[in-house]
Amino acid sequence: MTINNRQFSLIFNLNRMKTKVLSVVVVILLGTLSGFAKIKSEKFLVNGKCEMCEKRIEMAALSLEGVSKAEWNKETKEIEVTLNDAKTSLQNVQEAIAKVGHDTEAVKATDEVYNELPACCKYDRAVLKAPMKPMKYEHR
């Protein structure tokens, strides 16, 4: 049995349709996968005083895998962090910053680390004890 032109074009179109359906499925799958690893930017307050604090705070945040950007503003005391939330969390970032001596909204530094800060970096700890705006991140 030979395939005539009409049959051929039917089969050909069917194959093209299959390819289309398949590529749609691939796109949906990729979309789902990338949904698990979200890059997001968040802001929270970190107490500190000078340029040395800025370096210390930003380095602590950037030392975590998954943190691609950390910029602290010594005027507003606000840090903007860009992170991959499949690899780390805002909580981790705040813990890392508190570990080097700086109080954050969610995590306070221990007195021990705070006391080891250079004199110029001894920020007023009362500032962040005031009620803060609610944290924007969700626990998982």
Task: Write out the residues near Cu ion by the rule CB under 5 A.
Answer: 49-50, 52-53, 121
Q: Which is nearer to Cu ion, 53 or 83 (CB)?
A: 53
Q: Which is nearer to Cu ion, 26 or 52 (CB)?
A: 52
Minimum CB–partner distance for residue 77 and Cu ion (Å): 12
What is the spatial distance between Cα 108 and Cα 126, in angstroms, rounded to a whole number? 11
Minimum CB–partner distance for residue 21 and Cu ion (Å): 59
Pick the closest to residue 56 from 129, 126, 123, 135 (CA basis): 123
Q: Which is nearer to Cu ion, 44 or 114 (CB)?
A: 114
What is the spatial distance between Cα 130 and Cα 126, in angstroms, rounded to a whole number? 7
Q: Which residue is nearest to Cu ion (CB)?
A: 121
Q: Which is nearer to Cu ion, 119 or 130 (CB)?
A: 119
CB 109 within 8 A of CB 101: yes
Minimum CB–partner distance for residue 126 and Cu ion (Å): 17
What is the spatial distance between Cα 94 and Cα 44, in angstroms, rounded to a whole number? 9
For residue 110, what is the DSSP state?
A: P
CA angle (81, 73, 75) in 5-degree steps: 150
